[in-house]
Amino acid sequence: MAPSCCSIFVDCEKATRWRAGDDKESAEEEEEEEKEEVVEEEDRRMRRRERIGGRKEEESERKRSRRKRRMRRRRGRGERANSNRKRKRKNKNCSRKK
């Protein structure tokens, strides 16, 4: 059986050269497409990282401010603040309905 190129071209050698050239172009195009896909994927990853990092920073900032507020509330005035804290704890743990 004759090679498939012979059915299109009479000159087999020319056909194989043409085919090789075509393959080379398509290979270059595929490489470019792959590079673009890789770049897009990296961009996507970077954006995701920034989003996640930003969210974490916001959460930690929120937690920090909440903690500061709690500490400020707790500080109060010496002994009285301490007894108030004790009373609150007892009320919170109280099983009796009010």
User: What local confidence, expressed as pLDDT, does residue 1 receive?
Assistant: 47
Kindly list the averaged pLDDT for each block of 10 residues, start to end, along the chain of length 98. Answer: 53 58 71 88 84 74 82 64 74 66
CA gyration radius, the chain: 36
Domain chopping of the chain, boundaries = 12-89
Residue with tokens 């920090």: 64
Amino acid (one-letter) located at 97: K
pTM score: 0.33
Q: Where are the alpha helices (DSSP H) in the chain?
A: 4-8, 12-75, 78-93
